[in-house]
């Protein structure tokens, strides 16, 4: 007899798989040749769904990873691997699939809960269409509502103390350098050899929110719209990239938009909810 915790885990995994298979069905066209594959536990099901299409569909496709985990996933599934560094500057991926830690009403994302965000952002911004795949726990109206661990920020280790100070000044509540795996001394090290700082903020406003009409300085400390905060964080010296995927529209164009054109959520009742830009 499964415990309640085991049943919840099973429900979440089933939901991720449902979302992944639906997203692949809707967005992976047989004529596509370049596909981005993101990181995390949900993307495992994306690769499963793609591999299930068989070589008749996938043999003409090349898959671009966002880090060591997705590189292994692509290879283990027998799919053709190529690096984003080999993508000519004047070309784009046809589509990129990736997970998220939280998705708001405007399809802004928090990513990096598994310490992957920089390469993910590059791959997402290299795609004509970026599709987010998640489970019901990630569906939220405002970022920072369900995901309380903070915004993941990839930093140069020598700059970490200064970055933490800047984050406190911006109103982050107890930002911290993420520790490594239990039993491993030291900080969590990313695929890029950098550290992750997790910076909790109050839920991030969207432009239409009443509080957003007031000037940032006149709001309670740490109360920002997604765009305002992202623009501040990325300018802190020592910050390499931030786990906010945001922007003013959902269209993936050569300008490097980061928001998905669609987000798929596997729901607890066995359905899939789709939010589009
Ligand atoms: O750092 C990890 C990535 O941003 C993941 O895509 C994100 O954390 C979601 O991961 P999961 O699908 O495991 O919840």
Q: Which residues are catalytic?
A: 120
212 CB neighbour count, 10 Å cutoff: 18
CB-based burial label for 12 (10 Å; 0-12, 13-18, 19+) = middle
Instruction: Tell which residue, 121, 74, 153, has the closest CA to residue 247.
Output: 121
- pLDDT in the model for residue 160: 98
Both tokens of 86, joined, read 């080999």
d(CA 110, CA 116): 11
Mean pLDDT of the residues in the chain: 94
Please tell me the residue having the least CA distance from ligand 1 atom 8.
113
Instruction: Tell which residue, 134, 52, 118, 77, has the closest CA to residue 258.
Output: 118
Mean pLDDT confidence for 223-239 = 95
- pLDDT in the model for residue 248: 64
User: What is the ipTM for the molecules in this complex?
Assistant: 0.99
Mean pLDDT confidence for 75-92 = 96
Contact between 138 and 172 under an 8 Å Cβ cutoff? The reply is no
Mean pLDDT confidence for 204-224 = 93
CB-based burial label for 105 (10 Å; 0-12, 13-18, 19+) = middle
* Confidence class for position 59, pLDDT limits 50, 70, 90: very high
Mean pLDDT confidence for 48-68 = 97
pLDDT tens sequence across 114-156:
999 999 999 999 999 999 999 999 999 999 999 999 999 999 9
Mean pLDDT confidence for 50-67 = 98
Q: With pLDDT > 70 as the criterion, what percentage of the chain qualifies?
A: 96
- pLDDT in the model for residue 90: 93
- pLDDT in the model for residue 33: 98
- DSSP state letter for 170: T
* Confidence class for position 256, pLDDT limits 50, 70, 90: low
Which of 12, 100, 119 to mutate for ligand 1's pocket (most ligand atoms within 8 Å of CB)? 100
- Chain position carrying tokens 């599709």: 131
C-beta 115 within 6 A of ligand 1: yes
Mean pLDDT confidence for 64-72 = 97
Return the axis-axis angle of helices 43-51 and 4-27, rounded to nearest 10°: 50
Per the model's pLDDT, the better-predicted residue between 249 and 126 turns out to be: 126
Mean pLDDT confidence for 218-235 = 94
205 CA distance to ligand 1 middle (Å):
22
- pLDDT in the model for residue 254: 40
Residues in the chain: 277
Element (H, E) at 109: strand 109-110
Instruction: Tell which residue, 121, 113, 156, 120, has the closest CA to residue 138.
Output: 113
Instruction: Tell which residue, 94, 57, 96, has the closest CA to residue 77.
Output: 57
- pTM for this structure? 0.95
Contact between 21 and 49 under an 8 Å Cβ cutoff? The reply is yes
pLDDT for residue 251 is more than 80: no
Mean pLDDT confidence for 229-244 = 96
Which of 47, 114, 154 to mutate for ligand 1's pocket (most ligand atoms within 8 Å of CB)? 114
Which domains, ranges and CATH numbers included, belong to the chain?
Answer: 4-141+247-276 (3.40.50.1360), 151-243 (3.30.70.260)
d(CA 243, CA 230): 9
- pLDDT in the model for residue 250: 42
Per the model's pLDDT, the better-predicted residue between 1 and 239 turns out to be: 239
């Amino acid at each position: 007899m499964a415990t309640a915790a085991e049943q919840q885990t099973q429900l979440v995994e089933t939901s991720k798989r449902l979302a992944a298979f639906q997203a692949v069905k809707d967005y992976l066209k047989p004529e596509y040749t370049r596909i981005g594959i993101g990181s995390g536990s949900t993307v495992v099901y994306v690769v499963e769904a793609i591999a299930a299409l068989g070589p008749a569909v996938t043999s003409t496709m090349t898959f671009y990873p966002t880090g060591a985990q997705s590189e292994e996933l692509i290879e283990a599934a027998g799919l053709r691997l190529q690096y984003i560094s080999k993508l000519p500057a004047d070309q784009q991926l046809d589509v990129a699939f990736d997970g998220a830690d939280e998705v708001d009403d405007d399809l802004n994302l928090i990513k990096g809960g598994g310490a992957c965000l920089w390469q993910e952002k590059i791959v997402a911004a290299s795609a004509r269409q970026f599709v987010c795949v998640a489970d019901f726990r990630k569906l939220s109206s405002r970022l920072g509502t369900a995901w309380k661990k903070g915004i993941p920020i990839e930093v140069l280790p020598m700059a970490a103390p200064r970055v933490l100070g800047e984050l406190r000044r911006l109103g982050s509540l107890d930002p911290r350098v993420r520790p490594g795996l239990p039993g491993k001394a030291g900080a969590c090290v990313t695929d890029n050899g950098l550290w992750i700082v997790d910076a909790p903020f109050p839920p991030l406003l969207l432009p239409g929110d009443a509080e957003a009409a007031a000037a940032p300085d006149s709001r309670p400390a740490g109360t920002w719209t997604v765009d305002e905060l992202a623009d501040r964080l990325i300018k802190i010296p020592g910050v390499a990239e931030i786990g906010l995927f945001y922007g003013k529209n959902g269209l993936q164009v050569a300008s490097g938009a980061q928001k998905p054109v669609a987000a798929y959520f596997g729901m607890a009742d066995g359905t899939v909810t789709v939010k589009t830009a």
